[in-house]
Amino acid sequence: MKVKVCLSNSSCSRDKSLCFSLKKHLTESSRFLSTTQQNLCQTLSVDMSAASCLLTEDQFLCSICLDVFTDPVSTPCGHNFCKTCITEHWNIKVPYQCPNCKKIFSTRPELQVNTFISEMAAQFRQSAQQKASSSSSEQQAAKPGEVPCDLCTGTKLKALKSCLVCLVCYCETHLEPHLTVSGLKRHQLIDPVENLEGRMCTKHDKLLELFCKTDQMCVCMLCTVLNHKTHDVVPLKEECEGKKAELGTTEAEIQQMIQKRRLKIQEIKHSVELSKEDADREIAAGVQVFTALKESVERSQAELIDTVKEKQRKTEKQAEGFVKDLEQEISELKKRSTEVEQLSRSEDHLHLLQSFTALNAAPPTKDWTGVSICPPSFEGTVVRAVIQLKEMLNEEMKHFEAKLKRVQQSAVDVTLDPDTAHPKLILSDDGKQVKHGDVYKNLPDNPERFDICVNVLAKQSFSSGRFYYEVQVKGKTNWDLGVARESINRKGEIILTPQDGYWTICLRNDNEYYALEDLAVCLSLKPKPEKVGVFVDYEEGLVSFYDVDAAALIYSFTGCSFTEKLYPFFSPFFNNNGKNSAPLIISPVNHTE
């Protein structure tokens, strides 16, 4: 395709700098074309195909259309042009002048066809097309989601750059003028982007190259004169640097949030591990107990079966003896019946009379009237087996009670500290009971006092060894119990977790029990405990809670790391319009055997 270039000073492009660049390029091309004759003479002895490889593209360009010669003709001054280009040029320009050397002809010159240049240009065009075709095939076609070249026809190649002056996306081939032509080199190139029109001001059709900080929007040069005259306007680059700084701060905050969440994941996983360890211990203890119960039941079952079978064997043996005696007597009686029958048919009177006395005697039979088989009595056998099983269960319960008794040996005397109590809490005079009241007492706001949460600590603290105390929770619908380290925060809202220095369990809504780990653990407690025992082994890092009446373990915090003093912790919670008005009562520990 030929490109018509206007040689006049009139505006034929939307961008004057582009027109200037093209004119300069035309001048440079003319300079190259002036040496064409000399180069051709030097290559006359070379094969035509070889010559086309030695000459450059500029030597085969028409200085008017800047394309490879088509139907090249020579002027009398020796310069070459496309026939159509020079003809149209002279149709416009009078007098007739050579576009290259500016020589003026008085009459319109007769143009001579340059067959040599024509053949060389044809070969060079074919070689250039093959090279362009090969280059295009090597370049990557634009894939879905990639920016295509705006100038490619047919297969759209992937764009390498976008020009903010031309508002065009270029592939590698079409980008070359912007890299070689001095006028085009000044254009601003960026990584390829779509919708370059969106970078133009819709009101003034100018490039958006400024930022209005007052209205927080991108504007063009005309906008700053008309609509944003008194506003704070800065170059886009300057604003972007500020925004990048903000993005850096945002990125740091995001990374911090990510780190916090990773730590939370670790906490949750650690809680799960602790829960799994507790579960494994409980399963092991349960398996041990129920294995013993199972073995005991199996022994009792085997003993029951053996006892019943033994009684049955004795009964069967007795019955076999009776049957044997009866069958023997039946046999003798049948024999006597046969003799009587034979004697009754005898015709020998003497023999009959002599034998009659012996046969008429009473047969040697046993009186079986009072003889019978009495089935063995199995009543009580199962009952006795169940009683034995119950005795074994009682032994197991004694084992649990003994364990609780051992824990109770670490009992300490605990009293509530009024200097830590929330102003709405009501403490008994002896410091053993606490409940929530409706009146906010005017008390000194000392550092030790809880000011928002209705909590209270004990006066006593512990930094080693073991200690145990019991609290009556009967009649309450909500409460918190446990221990807390000395450095806990006592002001504002408080979260009861080991991470914040609290190892507690709680009751909510009358029947919902939780162990307040970093991730709360739901507890299933039936029946509801009325008295809770709290046991701490400081060196072992253990905090355990017991249902005192059932002598059963409720929950244990294990693997704790204590480095500060620990205080017994209490919260009777809000009285809830009287529904939760019962007090928490520190009870004396009955640890006698």
pLDDT digits (tens, 9 = 90+) for 539-558: 999 999 999 988 888 999 99
| Phi, psi at 176, each rounded to 5° | -55, -45
Q: What is the pLDDT of residues 101-143, one digit of tens each?
A: 888 888 888 888 877 777 777 777 677 666 555 554 556 777 7
Task: Output the pTM of the full model.
Answer: 0.43
| Phi, psi at 5, each rounded to 5° | -110, 125
289 half-sphere exposure, CB direction, 13 A CA radius: 14
Q: Is 96 exposed, middle or buried (0-12, 13-18, 19+ CB in 10 A)?
A: middle
Spatial contact of 234 and 243, defined as CB atoms under 8 Å apart: no
Residue-averaged pLDDT of the chain: 80
Give the pair of three-digit tokens for residue 350.
């003497």
Give the pair of three-digit tokens for residue 211.
């930022």
Spatial contact of 465 and 538, defined as CB atoms under 8 Å apart: yes
Spatial contact of 30 and 100, defined as CB atoms under 8 Å apart: yes
pLDDT at position 462 over 70: yes
Q: Confidence band (pLDDT; 50, 70, 90) for 212?
A: very high
Q: Is 9 exposed, middle or buried (0-12, 13-18, 19+ CB in 10 A)?
A: exposed
Task: Look up residue 217 and give its amino acid.
Answer: M
Return d(Cα 310, Cα 478) in angstroms, integer.
60
Handedness of CA 227, 229, 232, 236 (dihedral sign): positive
Return d(Cα 559, Cα 543) in angstroms, integer.
9
Strand partners, 105: 96
- Please list, in sequence order, all residues whose beta carbon lies within 8 angstroms of the beta carbon of residue 365, skipping any fewer than 6 positions away: 329, 332, 333
| Phi, psi at 348, each rounded to 5° | -90, 105
C-alpha triplet 52, 57, 62: angle, nearest 5°: 110
